[in-house]
């Protein structure tokens, strides 16, 4: 009796499931839960951004969207999970620009071609700050100082292949100064050493450095953005300081899908995510986090990505940055 | 001073507002509970409960998250002492003497002492935070990579010989820990080391997995085949739960020393709580007149590290709140929660949001009082947990270990990691190797290496910077002193053993003579 009942329940379950799938095929994407794999740990600024976007698209597409934080290996773990997922649009990657660093520095482990760009969510401008005891107020003064005191100055970055290192090596190359590179694992220890005067300069996110500068703990010399930042309107861009080639200095946050995801699924997601990125409340959140909302759809983002990659490739070649 | 008192008064007013109080209570309760569960550290819990704060105001959100953090420190000691399970890495050192106390039926007393030391140390830490923030900040700012590497070297030297039994084995295990610490991405050059093409290893071995594997799982694997298992022999009676007068007396000075060490380390961002507890333990063992008691249930070995952990936990909030520079990952999450609320952590936080800063400080006190009130009656219940038959207790503990390590990265890889480490740990335990020095080497090695190489980059390879900077010079002198006393102690012992004709000691002595030098060179690498 129990056996038959169990069989019956199981059987009807299977039947219902098979009906469901057939019904799903007819309905348009999405018909089930979407998982966004975050290439960072939970709780950071990137997580906040991803969750805000996830909530928005979840409401507009009427499907649950969850954020699954899979930090590790500078974003490689999450990128690999997504590139190996079924290309159906239900598993997406939310990552920052470190994915591109990886594709240059560890080409055997990360290929940009394994992912399909969906949308650019926001950009995070970088900046150069120097310690408050360094007698320079502008980038030109700092460079003059560094050139007249060779081997006395150092700059911190977030590690080999980070935007900071690229900027620092570019500056050395363009000016002929020798400012020693000191890599760090994260912003907090770098900031600690900058404020304590252990290193003379640091490249980091404009928001973090700017807050310390506003309190007089360090001096912001230049920001890497096409125009001056609203929050720090008195700080010139690298272009204005005479280094137009250093203006690339933005980190970015974007969504990718596995390669071979159907074009109509990508375009639907792209529309939703780029739209959500420009919603007023998301714009507010991102400016609070020190970012700038972009909401760039797939086609533009793919072009943007290509330009970035060309630029980075040139810089890496010119400055000879590599993993020893 | 008076200004601080009025601010603190205001803080209490904030902390005792019903909503804030409720969330703070909720935080410490959850923290205490997850602290007991192996593998579920404050970091995992806070990141899981972070979405909950989206609906809260900034003050209750921070109060709750901070409550989880220090609440879990109280809970962590429980697993370490009763089950040999350091649910939170700093408690690994508490296992060394806490667990033997449990085996002797004094687990309740150990917990009682832990609660007292914790509360005392946390209170001192809070006072430090209120009155000495500016002073500690100025000390911290003078702490560069040279000082950090000198203090790490001191920790390694002090810790290598702290385990019970053969010092040779202790040193060997520290070196093993240093090696395990090498696995992962080299912070300076970005090279993968010993990852064997496994991407998951590029972030190194997970500290929680290492601790739980070496202590909990290894111990389980070793004991499970014995006919008489621990759970059945321990008898628990209420009278045993209270620490005796003699135990209290014995624990008092270690508690004070532990608190001082915790406060000192608290001011230094990036040092981490694990080194703090190890240093506190090593110090107790060094100055004890009966060092042979350590590892066999010495109450000093429980009181000092626990006190230091709690003092460090509280003082850690200074750089986080006053400079906006998080001391560790938990602090970074806490600041992250503020960022999501639209509050920018930074040097202006205290002046712009006094309600958050002073409310938080006052809530520390409220929370700590609550934790003591909560935990003292609970000791009885926790100890009674030991009466659960071993065949039920340990499989459930293993289950929680799996969940805990899984949740750190949402990946099965950590579960495999903990199983492999457990197997290795069981082999080491069976061969009577102490496992605590592995944790020490693992934690300190990478910190030492990273800062040492940064010093070399900054000084263009000049080693003299270590002696020209005053703080690092005195730390280096302390290292030298430590090696010297060790040397004298061994040569004395050798002389004594010559008269008795003991043949093993000269070999041990010879190794010790070499060991510190060897460790120095093994962690140095070409930049």
Residues listed for chain B: 527
> A94: which 2 tokens?
């939310």
Q: Sign of dihedral through CA atoms A37, B200, B211, B228?
A: positive
Quote the minimal CA–CA distance from A40 to chain B in Å.
10
The distance from CA B129 to its chain's CA centroid, rounded to whole angstroms, is 20
Cα distance between the two ends of chain A: 70
User: Token pair 């410490």 is at which residue?
Assistant: B28
Provide the pLDDT confidence category of residue B74 given band limits of 50, 70 and 90. confident
Tell me the C-alpha distance between B310 and A302, whole Å.
51
Q: List, in order, residues 6 or more apart from B358 with CB less than 8 Å away.
A: B7, B8, B10, B11, B14
Flag the least confident range among B117-121, B357-361, B505-509: B505-509
Q: Is there a contact between A277 and A297 (Cβ–Cβ < 8 Å)?
A: no
Our CA-based measurement puts residue A207 at a distance from the nearest CA of chain B, in whole angstroms, of 9
**What does residue A285 show for φ and ψ, rounded to 5 degrees?**
-60, -45
pLDDT for res A202: 94
CB-based contact, B223 to chain A, within 8 Å: no
Nearest chain A residue to B336 by CA distance is: A44
Q: Return the H-helix or E-strand segment holding A35.
A: strand A34-38
Cβ atoms of residues B282 and B77 within 8 Å = no
The predicted structure's pLDDT at residue B303: 93
Cβ A185–B460 below 8 Å, yes or no?
no
Question: What is the phi/psi pair of residue A242, to 5°?
Answer: 100, 15
What pLDDT, on a 0 to 100 scale, did the predictor assign at position B163? Answer: 61
Distance from CA of B526 to the nearest CA of A (A): 11
Q: Which of A43, A151, A196 sits opposite B47 (nearest CB)?
A: A43
Helix (H) or strand (E) holding B152: helix B145-160
- Asked if residues B358 and B126 have their Cβ atoms less than 8 Å apart, the reply is no
Task: Find the CB nearest A182 among B329, B345, B457.
Answer: B457
Contact (CB, 8 A) for B218 and B435: yes
Residue of A183, A196, A289 lying closest to B339 (CB–CB): A289
Q: Does A189 contact B326 at a Cβ distance shorter than 8 Å? A: no
Residues of A in contact with B325 (CB under 8 A): 188, 191-192, 195
- B511 pLDDT band, cuts 50/70/90, is very low
At residue B522, the pLDDT reads 36
The pLDDT of residue A67 is above 80: yes
Cα B189–B192–B198 angle (5° rounding)?
Answer: 160
ω into A30 cis (within 30 of 0) = yes
Distance CA A69, CA B14 (A): 34
**CB distance B255 to B121 below 8 Å:** yes
Q: Which residues of B touch A151 (CB under 8 A)?
A: 460
Using the beta-carbon criterion (under 8 Å), do A183 and B187 form an inter-chain contact? yes
Flag the least confident range among A264-268, A284-288, B283-287: A284-288
B326 with A188: Cβ contact below 8 A: yes
When scoring A188, A197, A217, A290 by the number of chain B Cβ atoms within 10 A, the one with the most, hence best to mutate, is A188
Residues 6+ apart with CB under 8 A from A80: A109, B199
User: Is residue A250 within 8 Å of residue A125, measured between CB atoms?
Assistant: yes
Q: B354 — contact with chain A (CB < 8 Å)?
A: no
Has residue B513 got a pLDDT over 60?
A: no
- Judge: B347–A43 Cβ closer than 8 Å, yes or no: no
Pick from B253, B255, B23, B267: which is nearest to B132 by CA?
B267
**DSSP at B214:** I
A 10 A CB-CB count for A232 gives 19
CB contact under 8 Å between A212 and B347, yes or no, is yes
pLDDT at B404: 81
Q: Quote the DSSP letter at residue B183.
A: S
**CB neighbours of residue B66 within 10 Å:** 30
Which has the closest alpha carbon to A40: A49, A27, A32?
A49
Q: How far is B167 from chain A (nearest CA, A)?
A: 34
Residue of B nearest to A154 (CA): B458
- Please tell me the least confidently modeled range out of B41-45, B167-171, B463-467: B41-45
pLDDT, one tens digit per residue, over B347-396 is 778 888 888 888 888 999 899 998 888 887 777 777 777 777 777 878 88
**Residue in A with minimal Cα distance to B65:** A43
Give the pTM.
0.79
- Asked if the C-beta of B450 comes within 8 angstroms of chain A's C-beta atoms, the answer is yes
Work out how many CB contacts closer than 8 A connect A with B.
135
Q: Do B92 and B80 contact (CB within 8 A), yes or no? A: yes
Task: Output the CA torsion sign for B111, B122, B446, B89.
Answer: positive
| Closest residue, chain B, to A109 (C-alpha) | B199
Which of B51, B188, B190 lies closest to A105 in CB terms? B190
CB-CB under 8 Å, A217 with B323:
yes
Residue with tokens 């990886």: A102
From B297's Cα to the closest Cα of chain A, the distance in A is 38
For residue A105, the chain B residues in CB contact (below 8 A) are 190
Residues 6 or more apart whose Cβ sits within 8 Å of residue B99: B80, B81, B82, B83, B84
Asked if B440 and B278 count as a contact pair (C-beta separation under 8 A), the reply is yes
- Beta carbons of A229 and A223 less than 8 angstroms apart: yes
Q: Which one of B336, B343, B408 would you mutate to disrupt binding with A, by most A Cβ within 10 Å of its Cβ? A: B336
Residue A209 confidence (pLDDT) above 70: yes
Nearest by CB: B346 against A47, A105, A215: A215
* Chain B residues touching residue A324 (CB < 8 angstroms): 189-191
The answer to whether the Cβ–Cβ distance between A188 and B270 falls below 8 Å is: yes
B326 vs A contacts (CB less than 8 Å)? 188
Tens of pLDDT, residue by residue over B183-202, are: 988 877 778 889 888 878 88
A285 contacts on B by Cβ (under 8 Å):
340
Token representation of residue B267:
């001011």
Chain B contact set for A288 (CB, 8 A): 339, 342, 344
Q: Residues A78-87: what's their mean pLDDT? A: 89
The widest CA-to-CA distance across chain A, in whole angstroms, is 93
For A211-241, the pLDDT digits (tens) are 889 888 899 999 988 888 887 889 999 989 9
**Given an 8 Å threshold on Cβ–Cβ distance, is B187 in contact with A188?**
no
């Amino acid at each position: 009796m129990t056996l038959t009942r169990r069989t019956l329940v199981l059987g009807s379950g299977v039947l219902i499931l098979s009906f469901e799938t057939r019904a799903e095929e007819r309905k348009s994407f999405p018909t089930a839960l979407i998982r966004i794999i975050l290439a960072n740990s939970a709780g950071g600024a990137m997580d906040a951004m991803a969750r805000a976007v996830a909530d928005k698209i979840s409401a507009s597409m009427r499907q649950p969207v969850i954020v699954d934080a899979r930090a590790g290996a500078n974003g490689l773990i999450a990128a690999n999970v997504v590139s190996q997922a079924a290309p159906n649009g239900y598993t997406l990657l939310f990552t920052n620009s470190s994915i591109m660093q990886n594709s240059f520095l560890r080409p055997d482990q990360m290929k940009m071609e394994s992912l399909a760009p969906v949308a650019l969510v926001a950009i995070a401008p970088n900046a150069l700050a120097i310690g408050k005891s360094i007698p320079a107020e502008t980038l030109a003064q700092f460079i003059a100082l560094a050139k007249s005191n060779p081997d006395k100055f150092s700059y911190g970055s977030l590690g080999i292949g980070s935007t900071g290192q690229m900027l620092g090596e570019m500056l050395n190359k363009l000016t002929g100064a020798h400012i020693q590179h000191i890599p760090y694992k994260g912003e907090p220890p770098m900031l600690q050493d900058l404020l304590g005067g252990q290193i003379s300069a640091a490249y980091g996110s404009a928001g973090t450095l700017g807050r310390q500068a506003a309190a007089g703990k360090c001096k912001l010399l230049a920001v890497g953005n096409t125009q001056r930042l609203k929050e720090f309107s008195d700080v010139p861009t690298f272009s204005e300081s005479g280094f137009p080639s250093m203006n690339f200095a933005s980190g970015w946050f974007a969504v990718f899908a596995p390669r071979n995801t159907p074009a109509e699924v990508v375009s639907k997601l792209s529309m939703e995510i780029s739209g959500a990125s420009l919603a007023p409340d998301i714009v507010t959140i991102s400016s609070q986090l020190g970012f700038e909302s972009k909401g760039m759809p797939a086609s533009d983002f793919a072009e943007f990505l290509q330009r970035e990659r060309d630029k980075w490739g040139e810089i890496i070649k010119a400055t000879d940055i590599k993993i020893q | 001073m008076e200004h601080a008192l009025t601010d603190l008064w205001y803080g209490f007013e904030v902390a005792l507002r019903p909503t804030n109080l409720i969330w703070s209570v909720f935080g410490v309760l959850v923290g205490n509970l997850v602290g007991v569960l192996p593998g579920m550290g404050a970091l995992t819990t806070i990141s899981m409960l972070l979405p909950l704060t989206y609906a809260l105001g900034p003050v209750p959100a921070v109060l709750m998250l901070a409550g989880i953090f220090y609440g879990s420190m109280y809970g962590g000691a429980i697993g370490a002492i009763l089950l040999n399970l350091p649910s939170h890495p700093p408690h690994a050192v508490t296992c060394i003497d806490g667990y033997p106390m449990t085996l002797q039926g004094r687990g309740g007393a150990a917990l009682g002492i832990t609660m007292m030391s914790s509360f005392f140390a946390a209170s001192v830490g809070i006072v430090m935070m209120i009155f000495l923030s500016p002073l500690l900040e100025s000390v911290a700012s003078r702490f560069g990579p040279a000082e950090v590497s000198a203090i790490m070297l001191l920790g390694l030297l002090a810790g290598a010989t702290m385990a019970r039994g053969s010092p040779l084995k202790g040193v060997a295990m520290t070196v093993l820990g240093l090696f395990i610490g090498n696995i992962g991405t080299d912070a300076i050059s970005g090279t993968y080391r010993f990852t064997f093409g496994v991407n998951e290893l590029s972030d190194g071995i997970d500290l929680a997995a290492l601790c739980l594997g070496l202590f909990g799982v290894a111990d389980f694997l070793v004991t499970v085949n014995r006919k008489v298992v621990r759970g059945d022999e321990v008898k628990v009676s209420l009278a045993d739960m209270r620490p005796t007068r003699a135990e209290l007396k014995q624990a008092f000075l270690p508690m004070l020393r532990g608190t001082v060490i915790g406060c000192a380390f608290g001011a230094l961002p990036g040092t981490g709580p694990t080194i703090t507890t190890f240093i506190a333990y090593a110090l107790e063992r060094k100055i004890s007149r009966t060092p042979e008691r350590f590892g066999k249930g010495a109450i000093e070995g429980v009181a000092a590290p626990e006190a230091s952990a709690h003092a460090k936990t509280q003082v850690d909030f200074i750089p986080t709140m006053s400079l906006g520079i998080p001391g560790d990952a938990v602090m970074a999450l806490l600041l992250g929660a503020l960022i999501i609320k639209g509050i920018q952590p930074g040097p202006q936080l205290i002046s712009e949001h006094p309600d958050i800063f002073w409310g938080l400080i006052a809530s520390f006190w409220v929370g700590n009082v609550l934790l003591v009130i909560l935990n003292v009656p609970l000791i009885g219940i926790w100890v009674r947990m030991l009466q659960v038959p071993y065949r039920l207790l340990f499989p459930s503990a293993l289950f929680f270990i799996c969940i805990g390590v899984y949740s750190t990265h949402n990946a099965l890889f950590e579960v495999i990691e903990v199983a492999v480490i457990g197997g290795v740990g069981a082999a080491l335990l069976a061969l009577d190797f102490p496992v605590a020095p592995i944790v020490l080497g693992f934690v300190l090695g990478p910190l030492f290496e990273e800062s040492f190489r940064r010093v070399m980059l900054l000084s263009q390879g000049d080693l003299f910077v270590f002696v020209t900077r005053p703080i690092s010079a005195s730390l280096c002198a302390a290292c030298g002193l430590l090696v010297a006393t060790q040397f004298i102690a061994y040569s004395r012992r050798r002389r004594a053993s010559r008269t008795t004709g003991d043949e093993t000691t000269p070999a041990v002595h010879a190794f010790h003579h070499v060991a510190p030098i060897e460790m120095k060179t093994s962690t140095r690498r070409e930049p």
